[in-house]
Amino acid sequence: MTIVAGFLGKPTPAAPGFVVLAADSEESGGLIKSSVRKIAKIDKGECKVLVAGAGHGDFIDFAIEQIESDLAPPFERSAIRIMIERIVTDIYSTRIDTYPASGQDVLEFELLCAIWVAGDPSVDFVRVRRALSLALTRPTTIGIGTYLAGYLIATFYTPGLPWYHNTRFAVYLLAQVKKHVASCGGTSQVVWLDGNGVMDDLWPSTISQHELSTSVVMGGGARLLFDFVDPLGWGFDLSKVDQVVDDAAAKIKAEVKQLWAQQASPSQSASPSASPWESPSASPSPEPPETGE
């Protein structure tokens, strides 16, 4: 089974738009589990597309093959969206529908896609099912574990942040779903496509660093804050609340220092970024955080 998550960033005067897609890599076949790539990158020069699917793996692969084969100039984003919908619908009508009705549910699939065409700083974020392609404006997940992923997004996701923070949140979301949903696993895959046509994978070493840093924050300091930032419990003595916040911050700092002291030059093994607000040279330039979409 699969969990796929997607996040959309809108273009601003300071930075192009982007879409981040993230997926686990575990594929199960009977008693055998294997690691597979679940996010396809299609590069036609003036047009680039990301495709990730949840559901029957063979039909997802077939749909990706058809998309890559049929994608040809002149490129227009709405036409590409309609083409992908047609391909998915045709697979259902000419292939899945030929199976006995009792077994069709295990053959079903759907896609999350990112579509970029040269000359526009925006990237379309699209969900495609049979006879339906929906332009998305909010974080969306498909596959197993979507209820947990939806809770994490509703609770912790901050709209309007740059691509870097979206990739980091995607890593955290995948880690939690893989931890709590038995059918998801393997290494995490995170890919982005931006309005400049940059399409790239988040490095495995960067994913590992994000997994470590988010586990420190969410596993220690955040719990302390939740349990004890309680004005009522402290008799509305806000100096006690201040102390709890300071203690939580000190705990996070100490754990971060201890964790990174055990590693050899983490900055050399992760993406070459001097800070979360500076991006790798081949990546979209992040923008300052905003408070809304």
- In this structure, of 28-32, 50-54, 242-246, the range with the lowest mean pLDDT score is 28-32
Tell me: do 31 and 160 sit in the same domain.
Answer: yes
Taking the C-alpha atoms of 78, 163, 278 and 47 in order, what is their torsion angle to the nearest 10 degrees? -20
Tell me: do 241 and 181 sit in the same domain.
Answer: no
Tell me: do 23 and 129 sit in the same domain.
Answer: yes
SS3 state at 125: strand
Domain boundaries, position 234: 205-269
Tokens 């332009």, residue located: 135
pLDDT digits (tens, 9 = 90+) for 180-192: 998 899 999 999 9
pTM of the model: 0.86
Domains identified in the chain, total number: 2
Domain membership of residue 285 (yes or no) is: no
Supply the DSSP symbol for 276.
Answer: T
pLDDT digits (tens, 9 = 90+) for 121-165: 999 999 999 999 999 999 999 999 999 999 999 999 999 999 999
Tell me: do 172 and 251 sit in the same domain.
Answer: no
Tell me: do 56 and 183 sit in the same domain.
Answer: yes
Tell me: do 57 and 175 sit in the same domain.
Answer: yes
Tell me: do 29 and 50 sit in the same domain.
Answer: yes
Tell me: do 234 and 134 sit in the same domain.
Answer: no
- Domain of 28: which CATH number? 3.60.20.10
Helix then strand then coil, % of the chain, to nearest 5: 40, 25, 35
Domain membership of residue 288 (yes or no) is: no
Tokens 């049929």, residue located: 70
Contacts 24+ apart (CB under 8 A), 40-45: 40/64, 40/68, 41/191, 41/199, 42/67, 42/68, 42/71, 43/199, 44/71, 44/72, 44/73, 44/75, 45/118
Domain membership of residue 131 (yes or no) is: yes
Asked whether residue 16 carries a pLDDT value surpassing 60, the answer given is yes
